[in-house]
Structure 1
């Protein structure tokens, strides 16, 4: 019998994903890719030896960071259960075989109470046992238990609450198995044997199979939450993080994954955000990544093992920490199958060692030059032969201007120019040439000479982060019919979001824009919910036409601009009659409630 118990845990950052957390953990019985090969067989034999040795009552299994430990152990336990069902096993004096266990699988326990509750619930099948004192555990019928503390994140003192040597005193022949990413935690748990899985000990095929098994298991887990992403797509999501070996800002990966077509097409941006946050939660929960509020990192041991595999496969060229003389030659760029190039965190002064011409790489889809502060110039014709480029990241470089050949990137979907301290302004004509652009990441770039920015009628643009442009006072996104998310600079004074897909005031951080004087929201049929309780001021002029099929812009401005026209009055349901907005602001406005039909 196998029981997977999931104690409650406190994830402050992920409170919205409690249901996902429960289902994700409970999916540990899902079928996964079988792990085979010399290193895995050696590990399997070590675990079997511990299971059969009566002198070993506790053993731990750690390593491989957060990848594959639980999956591999489940496969060994499945073999254990199959063997226990056979009739040719030797039995001990009490009629029990050396591999016949009642299995209690406790996923990510946080206290000894979680462990005790799991044992009593599984062994007794009697709710009365849930409140038993520890001393009365002996009253539970004598059974041989294999207690698995899976993915242990912190030390739990089993002996400190009366469970001293419980393996032999309560249920003779029982064992405790501990899995954790931390060798220190395993050592503190007083294991007789510590088994360590090391990435450098795996062959390339074994390492890739281990990642694929984990990705497939995650896909099974997400499927229980009606998120259908295959194991191969999840592999691409995870290995994409390795294009940023030293870590990268965490908020932007959703845009990268969407544009690289890893996570499919969703009916709403909110669903896509949920999928991204779900993946990030699972990666972090399984210790596959380390993250904080700003950055995501993959452990150095995984980077060291897997990046060379990506390079050997021929579809990626990933190098980090390059010196100026180590930039790849043009012929390295021009390999037929090369799709992605990442030259991150170095001191290169040019992306490639020039041979008098730009690289001819029409098949290249991704170019990441992030964190190269000595890269101050990209030659004017550099992008001429990169017609297939979809992602270009020049963030945190020293560039002072953008080359004219940028306009030839007609398939470009994502342009990242964040943290570019030397880039004084944006060439608007070059941006308008990128008619397929979906995401523009400009955060923390000051653009001191940029005071006005018009990106009107860029039909595919859905995301803009320009929160560091401290002199920008006027921004227009009129007619950007796909546009949904804006991170504006706080001192913005004039904003036009007419004919966009904005659906909430928080989508453009309205609460942040304390100096906003004019806000145009004409033809914003998706904007149907307003958090009036969180709004304490309105701009001097607000032109808001919910439907834009009965009141043209000219009529608004003829009425001195103070107009709100909506399709029904439900939008004001959450506005208190006592709100100061009525007296302070709404008395200036002309209201129209006219059906959109």
Structure 2
């Protein structure tokens, strides 16, 4: 769904959305057709206008997926399309939660000055009186992370006469569960307790419901409830409780590979939209998706894993479900406390890093993954950085501004993946001759003018991207030695016999010098996908793209 409710309130969670009488109209982007956002908007609108028992509406979903955008559309529609409400008020709840700040924000929207009112209770009394005078109002609370009783703030309990409406936790639970367990004698009491443990937190409700959805017997429900109670024991604040419930759902996955997939998503920055194909490629690189007979089979496994996590409400579309905090920053390169010896994966991607201290040399012998991609201002990586990182399997420096890859990379003999795509200033790559375990090498859109020294030694290479305009020649003796290649892209002219020797190739992008060689190669029919240019670089006759699906 496209909305994330932090309207997770155990006592009567008032969020942080408040709208004004004539109200403020927000500039909005278009919600396209029958997209998820449009469907959610229609559902919320129906709840607002129907004269039913819905008096509170929780809008839930991960950060950055469009909750506020949908509600801005609702806000604007309420202001111009209906006279059902006397006032529409939008307020954003501050983080950390502050009662005084929220009271003043709501009061300001109501034209009420509470600056001289010193006591919280007095402010609540005046706010309540002002809101009750409105009779029919919509109060929208945005970006809520803490539960609190409505009366603490001064928000009157919604009734059928004052028009404030909310979607009940039980309905949300049943909607996600897919069946009415409250009508089942054996499960009713268990379901009531499960729902109570969710503390009316919508994110917790949908996650737990998805986890319980697969359980068919009462003993399974009892067992899962005991696990849930153990998991959340001692969690008092809302954020800790939500995390514990998500952790419970994580443990219930049972499949270790699914758990690893979810943890890998946590390496991305908060609210980062992860491209599914990119994620699957990275899961393959990490070995989370185990090697199969073909890349297509590996992709099938990847998509299946993502769907399972979506169904468990632990991933949403292409975004990670967990809020990622505590990313290492520039200053952490020199903070040895952050680079512990037992560190296994380190993510500094998209961190606006512009330089790495010249003496940076983390002592992390167990580090297997180092992600530095997306730091566009990063121009130099010191040799010392890799001095003690000989266990490194995956190194990602893609989409940075480095001009030279440090020579110390030549000694990373356990490296299986080296991603340098988009490093358009990169001219120098040291010898790769020792990196015989390398399975993936991505040099797309770099500035290299010749293939790296030792490329012919990479006999385990399965993925090679040399889509580089500045690279003019591929030495003829190299490709036949890379017999494991499944994915090959490059711009140089090539000979039929060179490519034909690659029996495992599934995806190919390249250039043949004439139509005869192209036709001869295509008759072999071994490719799943291809993009082939026919003609010399100066006299390009055309390009042919296609996709074949076998089996």
Task: Give the structure-1-normalised TM-score.
Answer: 0.47
Q: Within 5 Å, which residues of 2 pair with 1:229-248?
A: 230-245=254-269, 246-247=272-273
Identify the residue that residue 418 of structure 1 maps to in structure 2.
421
Q: Is the Cα contact below 8 Å between 1:65 and 1:287 reproduced in 2?
A: no
Deviation at 1:359, TM superposition (A): 1.7
Q: Which secondary structure does the structure 2 equivalent of 1:456 belong to? A: helix
CA offsets 1:401-436 (integer angstroms, 9 cap, x no match): 111111221111111101102102433x2x222111
Q: How many Å separate the matches in 2 of 1:258 and 1:340?
A: 16
Instruction: Say whether residues 1:529 and 2:525 are aligned partners.
Output: yes
Q: Is the Cα contact below 8 Å between 2:354 and 2:377 reproduced in 1?
A: yes
Rate the CA distance shift 1:327–1:528 in 2: closer, same or farther, 3 A: same
Q: How many Å separate the matches in 1 of 2:246 and 2:337?
A: 29
Identify the residue that residue 81 of structure 1 maps to in structure 2.
183
Q: Is the Cα contact below 8 Å between 1:375 and 1:397 reproduced in 2?
A: yes
Q: How many Å separate the matches in 2 of 1:55 and 1:517?
A: 70
Rate the CA distance shift 1:436–1:42 in 2: closer, same or farther, 3 A: farther
Identify the residue that residue 62 of structure 2 maps to in structure 1.
65
Q: Is the Cα contact below 8 Å between 1:255 and 1:439 reproduced in 2?
A: no
Q: For the aligned residues, what is the CA RMSD?
A: 4.8
Rate the CA distance shift 1:371–1:487 in 2: closer, same or farther, 3 A: same
Q: Which secondary structure does the structure 1 equivalent of 2:337 belong to? A: helix
Rate the CA distance shift 1:240–1:530 in 2: closer, same or farther, 3 A: closer
Q: Which secondary structure does the structure 2 equivalent of 1:331 belong to? A: coil
CA offsets 1:199-233 (integer angstroms, 9 cap, x no match): x97433532532662785xx6xxxxxxxxxx5432
Q: Is the Cα contact below 8 Å between 1:457 and 1:477 reproduced in 2?
A: no
Q: Which secondary structure does the structure 2 equivalent of 1:278 belong to? A: helix
Q: Is the Cα contact below 8 Å between 1:341 and 1:367 reproduced in 2?
A: yes
What is the total number of aligned residue pairs between the two structures? 338
Q: Is the Cα contact below 8 Å between 2:351 and 2:375 reproduced in 1?
A: yes
Q: How many Å separate the matches in 1 of 2:186 and 2:53?
A: 19
Identify the residue that residue 378 of structure 1 maps to in structure 2.
381
Identify the residue that residue 443 of structure 2 maps to in structure 1.
442
Q: How many Å separate the matches in 1 of 2:479 and 2:278?
A: 21
Please, which runs of 5 or more residues in structure 1 have no aligned partner?
A: 1-38, 45-49, 88-149, 152-199, 220-229, 312-317, 541-573, 575-597
Q: Within 5 Å, which residues of 2 pair with 1:170-189?
A: none
Q: Is the Cα contact below 8 Å between 1:462 and 1:483 reproduced in 2?
A: yes
Q: How many Å separate the matches in 2 of 1:263 and 1:519?
A: 36
Q: Within 5 Å, which residues of 2 pair with 1:154-193?
A: none
Deviation at 1:297, TM superposition (A): 4.5
Q: How many Å separate the matches in 1 of 2:533 and 2:444?
A: 26
Task: Give the structure-2-normalised TM-score.
Answer: 0.50
Q: Is the Cα contact below 8 Å between 1:478 and 1:497 reproduced in 2?
A: yes
Rate the CA distance shift 1:70–1:501 in 2: closer, same or farther, 3 A: farther
Deviation at 1:466, TM superposition (A): 2.4
Structure in which a larger fraction of residues adopt strand: 1
Please, which runs of 5 or more residues in structure 2 have no aligned partner?
A: 1-7, 14-46, 66-168, 190-208, 211-235, 537-549
Deviation at 1:369, TM superposition (A): 0.8
Deviation at 1:341, TM superposition (A): 1.0
CA offsets 1:249-279 (integer angstroms, 9 cap, x no match): 6533333212322223323322101112334
Rate the CA distance shift 1:209–1:203 in 2: closer, same or farther, 3 A: same
* Range 470-479 or range 253-262, more displaced: 470-479
Q: Is the Cα contact below 8 Å between 1:254 and 1:273 reproduced in 2?
A: yes
Q: Is the Cα contact below 8 Å between 2:339 and 2:363 reproduced in 1?
A: yes
CA offsets 1:458-516 (integer angstroms, 9 cap, x no match): 22210112223443332632222321111223x54457346544244xx2136xx2546
Q: Within 5 Å, which residues of 2 pair with 1:200-215?
A: 202-204=238-240, 206-210=242-246, 213=249
Rate the CA distance shift 1:392–1:79 in 2: closer, same or farther, 3 A: same
Q: How many Å separate the matches in 1 of 2:11 and 2:257?
A: 30
Q: Is the Cα contact below 8 Å between 2:419 and 2:441 reproduced in 1?
A: yes
Identify the residue that residue 331 of structure 1 maps to in structure 2.
336
